[in-house]
Amino acid sequence: MRILVIDDDEQICDLLQMSLELSGFTVGVAENGRIGERMYEQEPYDLIITDLLMPDQEGMETITSLKQNYPAIKIIAISGGGRIGPEAYLPDALLLGADLAFTKPFDLEELIKAVQGLLGMNGSNN
């Protein structure tokens, strides 16, 4: 299974890549929504984990665009918030089509379980 991580924070990308790879996934990394979309167009992924506040093209725009073009795509939104806290952004991400939302800092094991759930790998679809 292929997962694309979109986040402008290099350390978060490294962490997610490492943990997802250890769980058996193939992982691609993009530093903003524009690059992420381009990578998806070139070679589709099974699931996307995207941050919301990023330069160039932020997460909301990315989720909207991906869901419009690929309605079946699975997306998990992650955010540490901005001027008004993550709880203000994540519900909007769900409204725009994200399947799940996680507030940073999140529990890595829970996130991986959620990824597996969305991909139907452990029978517990969140």
Partner 1 sequence: MLTDSLKKFFKHLLKSPQNNNNCEPDQAEIKQLRQELARETSRANALEDAQHNLLAKWRIVLNSLQDSVMILDRDMRVINANKTAIDLLHTDDHNVLGKRCYELLMERKEQCPDCPMTNVEQEQSSDIVTHRKLRGKYLRIYCSPMFQDGKLEGYLHCARDISMQHTLEKQLVHARKMEAIATLAGGIAHDFNNILTTIIGNVDLLRIRMSGSGQKKKSGQLSASDADKHLKAIKKAGNRAKDLVSQILTFSKQTTGKHAPLIIAPVVKEAVKLLRSSLPTTIELNLALGQDIGKISGDPAQIHQILMNLSTNAASALKNGHGTIDIGLHPVNITGTPPCPELEEGRYIKLSVTDNGIGMSQKLQERIFEPFFTTNEVGQGSGMGLAALHGIITAHKAVIDVQSELGKGTSFSIYFPELREEEQASADQVEKQPHQVDMTPETILCVDDEKEIVAMEAELLECLGYTTVSACNGEEALAYLKDHLHEVDLVITDQTMPGMSGLELAQKVQELRNDLPFFLCSGYTEVVTEQEAAEAGIVHFFAKPTEIKVLAEMAYQVFHGSKTTD
Which of 67, 113 has the CB closer to partner 1?
A: 113
* CA proximity to 51, closest of 119, 113, 110, 4: 4
Report in angstroms how near the CB of residue 53 gets to partner 1 at its nearest.
Answer: 5
User: 3-class DSSP state for residue 78?
Assistant: strand
Q: Which stretch binds partner 1 (CB under 8 A): 40-48, 64-72, 92-100, 103-111?
A: 103-111
Residue 61 CA to residue 58 CA, distance in Å, equals 6
By beta-carbon proximity to partner 1, the closer residue of 71 and 105 is: 105
Task: Tell whether residue 72 is a contact of partner 1 (CB under 8 A).
Answer: no
Q: What order of strands is seen across the sheet that includes strand 47-51?
A: 26-30, 2-6, 47-51, 74-79, 100-103
Residues that bind partner 1 (CB under 8 A): 8-9, 11-12, 14-16, 18-19, 21-24, 53-55, 58, 80-86, 103-109
